[in-house]
Every structure is written in structure tokens, then in C-alpha cells.
Structure 1
Amino acid sequence: MHGHGYTQPVKQAPPTGLLVFLRVFFVVISVLSFGLLTWTMMLRLAIVTRKALDWGLFVAVMVAEVLGLYLMGSEPGDEIHTAGGWTGLALLLGSLVSAISYYLAADIRHFHQLRFAGYGLQQPPAPAYGYPQPPQPQSPYTAATVPQSAPPSAPAPMPQSPAPQPPLPTTPPPQRPVPARIDQVRAELDELSDYLRRQDGNHEGGR
């Protein structure tokens, strides 16, 4: 028979304190660098989630930063006077605000789903077909109030009809030899008649 097989290892989420520290750290360095290190947030998010969308946003943030720095660097003088300089600054600040918002929402959602999936996989697997189901633990509060269901009783065996027996051979009653019995009675009667005659003869002779 085939068993349940090997279960895939469940990826555990890091502690909540470590996640909060990493989120704050990447946001702070992005803000303090005025958007120059915004790509670090998106790189960490893409490595953690491994989604094509996050890798695409990481590339987009890198392009926006490079283009913004180029436009601001092409501005004559130390201050921004042209539309190109303002466009470069808008790209840096806009990518910074958008990346922070998306980074925090996606990171929190990812680890929340990971933790929820880990809790779901810790439940005992359903028994496979043909294997007995282990008894489920019961709360002591419900054990006293909910009656235990009686196990299904085995069906009573059906009474089997006795096999037909062959009829017993009937033996005829013994027949007495009727002629021999008649002859015996007749002989006894003859003897009785002879005896009576002798008795009568004796009585007549005595007179």
C-alpha cells in the first residue's frame, strides 16, 4: 500500500520584530538618501516574494532614479530652473513615495499570507482511503454534555433454513404368522375337548 508520502517543508515567517525592523530600516535609508536608495526596498521585496511584478517594479524604480538624476544633473547651476530639472526631481520624489507605499503593503501582505498558510498546514492530514481514522481530541466541556455516538452494530446474521432431510424409510409392522396361531388355538381346543370327554367318561363309569 502507498502511504501519505513526504510532506513539503513549510517555510516559516521570520519573527514580527525582525520584520518591523527591516521595514523601518529600508524606508529610513530611502528617505534620508532623498530617493537615491529607493531601489533597495524594491530589491528586497522582489527577493522575498519572487514575483515577476515585483521584479518589474524594481527595474522601473531603477530607471526612474537614473533618469531623474540625469535630468537634475543636466540643470545649469546649483538650483533648479528648467522643466527638465523639475521633472527629474518629480521622478525621484514620486518614485520614493510610491515605492514606500507599495513596499509596506506588499511586504505585510506577503508575510501575513505565509504565516496563515503555515498555520493551515499544521493541521493533521486527512486519512487516506483504506486507513483507519485516528480519534479526534474532544474538549472536556463538550465531553460531559454531548453523548458519544454508539459504534455501528454489526448486522445480525440471518437465520439459515435447515437443509431438507431425506424421508426416513418406513418399516412395515411385523406380521404375525396367522396360520400358526390358528393351528395352536385349534390344538388347544382339541385337547380341551378330549379332556372334557375323559372327564365325562369318568363320571359315567363311577355311577
Structure 2
Amino acid sequence: MHGHVPAPPQPRPAATALVVIVRVIFVSVTLLSIGILSWVTMLRIAIMRRRPLDWALFWGTCGLVVLTLVEIGTGPDDNPGTLGYIALAALFTLAAGVTTHYLVVDIGHYRAASAARAASGVPTAAPLSAPPYGLRPYGYVPPQPPAYPHPGIGAQPPLPQQPHPQRIDRVRAELDELSEWLRKEQGR
């Protein structure tokens, strides 16, 4: 009942608004271009993760887009033929596949980054505000964000927490009232 009351952890949203906007943009680019610009989304994945497999998928997507565009562009205009329909189906399939792959990879990437931050102890949520005046238990100390000094030149250890002058005055006033009340009770 006395002492520091730990604040309940605040749940952090899985993704920030900027991450969601970027996802919407890349998915829209891929789907609205019917797969022709799917290489842009694959380039984003390759740059983001920097894995050889992602670069291979990017170059494979580029090659497939070029081959389908060459087939569609060089075929007859009045009757595209079987190869033209296959190229068009490949573009639709590429659009759906790249979109799915992008969302799975991007969501997994940000979840892994969030888990790594949580495991390292770096705070991910904003510090909590103090409870209102009337609801503070006796001895309540507002939570302080941890100090992470730069490990370079001039790094200093964190200072001990200083008591607040207003709080000391309030405690003194409460103790004076309590002492006065006890004297009255003893005098009866």
C-alpha cells in the first residue's frame, strides 16, 4: 500500500501510421498496374532485408515483367493468341503473388524489429502520465524514463531522483495536521 506503484504496461500499436501508409502505397502500385510495376515492390523488399534470395526474386520479377510486356507488345492486336493470354495471366498472378509476399515479409520484418527492441529493454511506449492528485497513493513516485547516456565522451551516470519541493511541503502539512489532531485526542 505504501511505496512506488508500478505503472501498467501500455500496449503499443503493431504498426505506426507511416508504415501502414507505405504498405498501402506499395500494394496499390502493384495491383493498380496489374503487376507491371511489381518490380518496385520487390525492390523495396530487397533493399529492406538485403538478402540474396530477395535480390534474386527482384531480378526474376524484372525478367518476368519484361518477357510478358514483350509478348503482349509484339503479338497481333486483333487476336492476342494463347501466348498473349498466358502473358496476361502471368501479370495478374505476379500482381497477386508479389502483393501477398510483400505483406507477409513487411509485417514479419516489423514484428521482428519490435520484438528485438522489446528484448533489448529499450522502451517502446511513451512514459505514462501520473494519476490525478486525489488518486495518488501515499509515497507515489511518478515513473521516470530510463536514462541512456551516450557511451562516448562525456557520458555521465544518471542523477539520483530529487524529491519535489511541493510534495515535501504537502507531506509536512499533512504531518502537522496529524500531530494537531493527535494532541487534541490526547487532551480529551
The bucket for the TM-score relative to the shorter chain is 0.5 to 0.7
Residue 104 (structure 1) aligns with: 103
Residue 92 (structure 1) aligns with: 91
Gaps of 5+ in 1: 1-13, 125-207
Distance 1:47 1:99 in 2: 15
Distance 1:115 1:91 in 2: 36
Distance 1:37 1:86 in 2: 19
CA contact (8 A) 2:31 2:96 kept: no
Residue 115 (structure 1) aligns with: 114
Distance 1:83 1:122 in 2: 58
SS, match of residue 35 in structure 2: coil
CA contact (8 A) 1:70 1:88 kept: no
Residue 71 (structure 2) aligns with: 71
Distance 1:45 1:106 in 2: 8
TM-score by length of 1: 0.50
Kindly provide the amino acid, as one letter, of the partner of residue 64 in structure 1: L
Kindly provide the amino acid, as one letter, of the partner of residue 106 in structure 1: V
CA contact (8 A) 2:31 2:99 kept: no
Residue 5 (structure 2) aligns with: none
Between 1:55-64 and 1:14-23, the stretch displaced more is 14-23
CA contact (8 A) 1:39 1:61 kept: yes
Kindly provide the amino acid, as one letter, of the partner of residue 24 in structure 1: V
Kindly provide the amino acid, as one letter, of the partner of residue 60 in structure 2: A
CA contact (8 A) 1:71 1:87 kept: no
Residue 41 (structure 1) aligns with: 41
* Deviation of the 1:79 alpha carbon: 4.9
CA contact (8 A) 2:71 2:87 kept: yes
Residue 169 (structure 1) aligns with: none
Gaps of 5+ in 2: 1-13, 123-145, 147-188
Residue 188 (structure 1) aligns with: none
SS, match of residue 66 in structure 2: helix
Q: State the percentage of identical aligned residues.
A: 36
CA contact (8 A) 2:35 2:95 kept: yes
Distance 2:69 2:117 in 1: 43
Kindly provide the amino acid, as one letter, of the partner of residue 88 in structure 1: A
CA contact (8 A) 1:45 1:54 kept: yes
RMSD across aligned positions (CA): 2.0
Distance 2:25 2:103 in 1: 12
CA contact (8 A) 1:30 1:36 kept: yes
Residue 53 (structure 2) aligns with: 53
* Deviation of the 1:25 alpha carbon: 0.4
* Deviation of the 1:66 alpha carbon: 0.6
TM-score by length of 2: 0.55
SS, match of residue 34 in structure 1: coil
